[in-house]
């Protein structure tokens, strides 16, 4: 990545990390771009393979159905792009269905769809009296979380009917033990995961006000070479 592809914060000596937002047709993408900009990122909405590989961080947004998101990702070779970054230890952040597709498969109304398989597990409908789970909720950050640093007790905005409700992956390879954050709606479900270069949230940081911006800033500050 050339100097022209980075953005310096005038007068501070800080460099805004380049964040590629994978443009594959997902809705609500522009609010995610604005939130990342507010959090300190030099944000590029793109499907360019070179930029996606070279960026400091990659955001994978997602709204709607698991199957539809997987189909849209395949049209831009999303699975290949995501796997290539992760294989190189390069940071990726998934949001909402962008988190769900990181699991082995999703089951929606009897239809089973293969996911990216980065994590073991199945995304299924929430076992709750009221679905979808829509609105503000607290979370239970895992010990040592970097995403939730300074955000204890904050609430985040959820809009979903499906989630991963079990976690079986322990530490493997060169990475530390995954940090798992839970939330409650009818029962316990995964609200966020931090696992080596791959992190994800079931809630929408871009809809979560200042707490969401701070969480995105925590992620950006964790990127290699970030000086914010």
Taking residues 206-213, what's their average pLDDT? 98
The residue from 133, 160, 185, 204 that is catalytic is 204
Helix (H, G, I), strand (E, B) or coil at 191: strand
Question: Is residue 216, in this structure, part of any structural domain at all?
Answer: yes
For the domain that residue 165 is a member of, what is the CATH number? 3.40.50.880
**Cα–Cα distance for residue pair 158/208, rounded to 1 Å:** 9
pLDDT of amino acid 173: 61
Active site residue 96: yes
pLDDT of amino acid 91: 98
For residue 80, what are the domain limits?
A: 3-221
Global pTM reads: 0.92
Residue 148: is its pLDDT beyond 80? Answer: yes
Active site residue 204: yes
pLDDT, tens only, 152-183:
999 999 999 999 999 988 766 666 789 999 99
pLDDT of amino acid 226: 74
Active site residue 14: no
Question: Is residue 59, in this structure, part of any structural domain at all?
Answer: yes
pLDDT, tens only, 73-94:
999 999 999 999 999 999 999 9
Question: Is residue 227, in this structure, part of any structural domain at all?
Answer: no
pLDDT-wise least confident of 13-17, 98-102, 162-166, 177-181 = 13-17
The residue from 96, 118, 133, 160 that is catalytic is 96
Phi, psi of 23, deg, nearest 5: -95, 95
pLDDT winner (highest mean) among 1-15, 26-40, 48-62: 48-62
Question: Is residue 46, in this structure, part of any structural domain at all?
Answer: yes
- The secondary element (H helix, E strand) that includes residue 71 is helix 66-75
Question: Is residue 153, in this structure, part of any structural domain at all?
Answer: yes
Question: Is residue 191, in this structure, part of any structural domain at all?
Answer: yes
Could you tell me which of 198, 190, 146 has the C-alpha nearest to residue 172?
198
Angle between helix axes 78-87 and 66-75 (nearest 10 degrees) is: 80
- What is the domain count for the chain? 1
pLDDT of amino acid 4: 36
Question: Is residue 226, in this structure, part of any structural domain at all?
Answer: no
Question: Is residue 37, in this structure, part of any structural domain at all?
Answer: yes
Residue 7: is its pLDDT beyond 60? Answer: no
């Amino acid at each position: 990545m050339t100097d022209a592809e980075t953005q310096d914060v005038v007068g501070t000596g800080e460099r805004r990390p380049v964040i590629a937002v994978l443009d594959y047709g997902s809705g609500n993408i522009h609010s995610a771009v604005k939130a990342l900009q507010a959090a300190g990122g030099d944000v590029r909405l793109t499907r360019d393979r070179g930029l996606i590989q070279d960026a400091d961080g990659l955001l994978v947004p997602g709204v709607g159905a698991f199957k539809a998101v997987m189909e849209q990702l395949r049209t831009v070779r999303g699975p290949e792009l995501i796997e290539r970054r992760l294989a190189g230890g390069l940071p990726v952040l998934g949001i909402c269905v962008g988190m769900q597709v990181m699991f082995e498969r999703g089951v929606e109304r009897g239809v089973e769809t293969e996911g990216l398989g980065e994590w073991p597990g199945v995304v299924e409908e929430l076992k709750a009296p009221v679905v979808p789970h829509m609105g503000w909720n607290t979370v239970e950050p895992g010990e040592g979380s970097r995403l939730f640093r300074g955000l204890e007790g904050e609430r985040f905005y959820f809009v979903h009917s499906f989630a991963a409700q079990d976690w079986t992956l322990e530490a493997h390879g060169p990475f530390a033990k995954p940090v798992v954050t839970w939330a409650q709606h009818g029962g316990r479900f995964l609200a966020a995961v931090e696992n080596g270069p791959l992190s994800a949230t079931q809630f929408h940081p871009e809809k979560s006000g200042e707490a969401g911006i701070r969480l995105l800033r925590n992620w950006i500050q964790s990127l290699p070479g970030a000086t914010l």
